[in-house]
Amino acid sequence: MSLKPLRIRRPPRLGGKVSRDTDYWATLQHPVTVREFGAVSDVDFCDTQPNLFAVTASTKVQIFNTATDEVVKTLSSFKDVAYSGCFRGDGQLLVAGGEEGMVRLFQVSSKSVLRSFRNSSSSRPVHKVKFATDNTHLFTGADDNSVSYWDIPGQTVVSKFTDHQDYVRSVDVCTSNPDLVVSGSYDHHCKLYDVRTESCVLDVDHGSPVESVLLLPAANMIVTAGGNCVRVWDCMTGGRLITSMYNHHRTITSLTLNSQCDRLFSASLDRHVKIYDMSLFKVVHSVDYASPLLSVGVSRDQQTIVCGTTDGLVSIRHRKQLETCDQPPSHQSRHKQRSCYRYFIKGKSFLPSKDAHVVVQQKKYKMSRYDNLLRGFQHSKALDRAMDLRVRSNDPDLTVSVIRELIRRKALHSALIGRNEKQLMQILVFLRKNVVKREYSDTLLDVCVLVLQLYTSVLGESVRMAAEISKLHECVQKELQYQQLLLGTMGKLEALFTASATSTPPLVTAP
């Protein structure tokens, strides 16, 4: 019978918690990047077929196809930097603001400019534009500290709100009520307006310049982003703060929701996109990027995430489409065919007949160097191999397993005898670093006792060994103190638990 290789006992390792969101977003493929000539300030997806998304960068708005990741339309009627290219709900029209203070309305199919809107009282840049849900009006947020409500057919301003004290950089509309609009400004305030009363119905203070705002479809919550914080406000209770989430390290630049409004996406200058669960208000996944982010957009089917960076890169990431084994395999999918469940269980259920001759294949074990030394009863050399610097530093489980095998063979005493100063220093250093670890202490304490018994007479002759013994003693003393404090704390807790369990509440008698 051949000798089996040494069984290495390894303690269980606790892995990270894998949630359904982690599995879901782990299927994102490697990003497809497109270079633009300026910072990508906005990304907006069309809600209708075909799945298009608009990227606003420099002096143009480019429309991409999600199926091919190629530009299908380019809108370049701007004389200066363009901002906030946004689709209408039906996907037929697109509106964009600009540095020149003019808002242009485009027909997507012909790329022609249908309307141009300019505020006669100001020519300040318009950074945010949104269609109202009735598709006949739009909202704009400009650097003149105003939010304007435009009538598209008449090209006139129906209402103008000037309550902000600084630039308005974010606007969002309510999908269930076309008369509500929320705005965020650099004056740290987020305001909810009702165009029917032409007044502000809610005002909350974010605490830092507001870069992005979202109004949930039911108009019951507002999400604001500014600095490194995302805050959620309750509109039904007068703007009560529900939660604050500090999961980014730098300024958050963009927010967006998925189609079900149960996941919130935030992009930041710290090169991360955080995905939040809106029911728990916790981060469920994070996506890393190579450059600081200015914008983020998610397709309606959540199959595509597009981000825009400060250095002009458009990053397009698609979720991998998993093939099932029921589909006919192609000639180029040999690897996927082998990875299916049917391939791995092939032949497992075969039962031989009673008169069949069964050939049992003997399993061959690959023997390592220390296994060969143990096989030849060269215990001292096996311990030397286990105490090698690379082995004891990178895999202490292996070193301890060899020591346990020597103890099982009752050969540890003979393996430790006759060692020089260098070899003893290796053993002492390993003991000092690992003797207090819970998974090794039961074995290494016996090794410490045996080393001291064998080399007590010579340990004082070397300054290095004396110093190492002193460090080992100090390490053991600290661990004993920690254990005593822990036992004392456990005793106090047990007394408290016993007192709370045995105590009975006083009886209350009726007067």
How far is it, in rounded angstroms, from Cα 96 to Cα 60? 10
Q: What is the DSSP string of 187-212?
A: TSEEEEEETTTTEEEEEEE-SS---E
Q: Are 305 and 296 in contact (CB under 8 A)?
A: yes
How far is it, in rounded angstroms, from Cα 209 to Cα 187? 6
**Closest of 248, 298, 292, 295 to residue 271, by C-alpha:** 292
Cis peptide before 209 (omega within 30 of 0): no
How far is it, in rounded angstroms, from Cα 210 to Cα 164? 12
CA 419 to chain centre: 51
Torsion of CA 94, 98, 100, 103, to 10 degrees: 30
pLDDT at position 324 is 43
How far is it, in rounded angstroms, from Cα 253 to Cα 226? 7
What count of other Cβ atoms lies within 10 Å of the Cβ of residue 215? 25
How far is it, in rounded angstroms, from Cα 310 to Cα 405? 59
> Degrees (nearest 5) of the Cα angle 250, 255, 256?
150
pLDDT at position 81 is 92
Query: DSSP letter at 28?
Result: B
Phi, psi of 73 (to 5 degrees): -140, 145
Query: DSSP letter at 394?
Result: H
Question: Which residues, including other chains, have CB under 8 Å from residue 352's CB and lie 6 or more apart?
Answer: 358
- Give this prediction's pTM: 0.65
**Angstrom distances, CA of residue 144 to CA of 95, 98, 122, 124, 234:** 19, 13, 7, 6, 28
How far is it, in rounded angstroms, from Cα 57 to Cα 75? 11
Q: Are 128 and 143 in contact (CB under 8 A)?
A: no
**Angstrom distances, CA of residue 247 to CA of 94, 227, 252, 259:** 33, 11, 10, 23
How far is it, in rounded angstroms, from Cα 43 to Cα 40? 8
pLDDT at position 142 is 92
Phi, psi of 64 (to 5 degrees): -105, 155
pLDDT at position 119 is 73
Q: Are 202 and 218 in contact (CB under 8 A)?
A: no
Which three-class secondary structure state does DSSP give residue 442?
helix
Q: Are 167 and 127 in contact (CB under 8 A)?
A: yes
How far is it, in rounded angstroms, from Cα 263 to Cα 464? 60
What count of other Cβ atoms lies within 10 Å of the Cβ of residue 389? 10
**Closest of 154, 55, 155, 54 to residue 103, by C-alpha:** 155
| Segment (H or E) for 480 | helix 463-502
Residues of the chain with pLDDT under 70: 1-3, 13-18, 120-121, 322-350, 362-365, 503-511
